[in-house]
Amino acid sequence: MEGFKSLLKRKAGKFFSKIIPEQKGIEARLKWIDAGKKRLNHIDSDGNSITHRAVIEGREDVLKQFIGKGLRLDGKNYAGLSPLDLSLYLNRSYTHYFNHKPLDSIQIYRNKDQAIHSISIAELEKKLKFTFLHHLEFASYRDFLAMSKKGAKSLKDTQTRQMNHWMCSLHQNSMLVKPNFSHFYIRYISRYIGYGIFAAKKIPALTFIGEYTGVITPKFGRKKELNDYIFDYSAARKNSRFIIDASKKGNFTRFINHSTRPNLLARWIMIKGICHIIFFTKDPVDKDEQLTYNYGEIFWRRRFEPEEL
């Protein structure tokens, strides 16, 4: 008679095989290429090229091996994702291969001279002790695939699909260009509150401010690790078992404070099968007004002795 543990393992394997389709490993592809059975840029049944697989499996050596031998870097898989997209989502340090240059400065307000200054992202990270993420990061490729499939399933609902189309028409172009850092600045408020985000100029209603970024991880079993930078992560209107944790990695949106009379709204938007949480202004915002969001009745945000910039 089959033991309980082996039975559970077998059933779990069947369950995850339905969620995550079997992928051809990069070693098998390299053998096919060496044997002349496959072309270098051949796309297999999973929709990924060898460049995609090199990023997925963390094989920078493969990129270096073929980078000058006709390897395509701009191809997209069946989900519309390029190797650069995967490199960003999976936190691979390969973005320089794809000519990716993220914004490298941001505006801050220094109370000592009451003026706005532009500082490097590196300096901001050093001062405030966090890693700046311009994009979402998944803790694992398995989590990425699970959420991608859940997102695709949610868009089969007509109302959800129409809502996403409306959001994309308003904000997708702004997301692709990245936030306009000239719209706002980071300012130290107090030891108790910490930092906040303030308008550097008058901002019209429905203006895209930024995406809430961080590391997407399972929410279960994390009760001892809950912090002020947790945001529930859903696939459109579907609940999920994941959260966005910006405690150690995130962007400027982690400094958006709570208010019962907020001037920002947060909504989901689905791009290339991946759900993103974005902030935009609900009403016109005056210059030097703090940008705030209503996180809910139980929310109380506190920064423990943050260092002033």
Which residues fall within 8 angstroms of residue 131, CB to CB, at 6 or more apart? 125, 248, 249, 250
Structure tokens at 257: 């404070």
Q: What is the mean pLDDT of residues 171-175?
A: 71
Residue type, 244: I
The three-class DSSP label of residue 91 is coil
Q: Is residue 244 within 8 Å of residue 216, measured between CB atoms? A: yes
pLDDT tens for each residue of 192-209 = 889 999 999 999 999 999
CA angle 166, 82, 139 (to 5 degrees): 85
Summarize the confidence of residues 63-67 as an average pLDDT. Answer: 91
Most confident of 11-15, 16-20, 155-159: 155-159
Q: Are strands 215-218 and 137-138 parallel, antiparallel or unpaired?
A: parallel
Separation between Cα atoms, residue 307 and residue 309, nearest integer Å = 6
Proportion of the chain above pLDDT 90, given as a percent: 43
257's CB contacts (< 8 A; 6+ apart) are: 189, 193, 196, 197, 290, 292, 293, 301
pLDDT band at 224 (very low <50, low <70, confident <90, very high): very low
Separation of first and last alpha carbons in the chain: 66
Is pLDDT larger for residue 175 or for residue 146? 146
Give the pLDDT confidence of 134-150 residue by residue, as tens digits: 999 999 999 998 888 88
Is domain 24-98 classified as CATH 3.30.565.10? no
Q: Are 77 and 49 in contact (CB under 8 A)?
A: yes
In the three-class reduction of DSSP (H, G, I as helix; E, B as strand; rest coil), residue 78 is classed as: coil
Q: Which two tokens stand for residue 194?
A: 């910490």
The pTM of the whole model exceeds 0.85: no
The yes-or-no verdict on residue 20 having pLDDT over 50 is no
Q: How far is the C-alpha of 131 from the C-alpha of 147, rounded, in Å? A: 23
> Cα–chain-centroid distance for residue 157?
24
Report residue 104 as tokens.
């490298």
Lowest mean pLDDT among 25-39, 40-54, 69-83, 210-224: 210-224
pLDDT at 226: 58
Architecture in CATH of 105-293: Beta Complex (2.170)
Q: So what's the pLDDT on residue 15?
A: 43
Task: Show me where the domains of the chain are located.
Answer: 24-98, 105-293
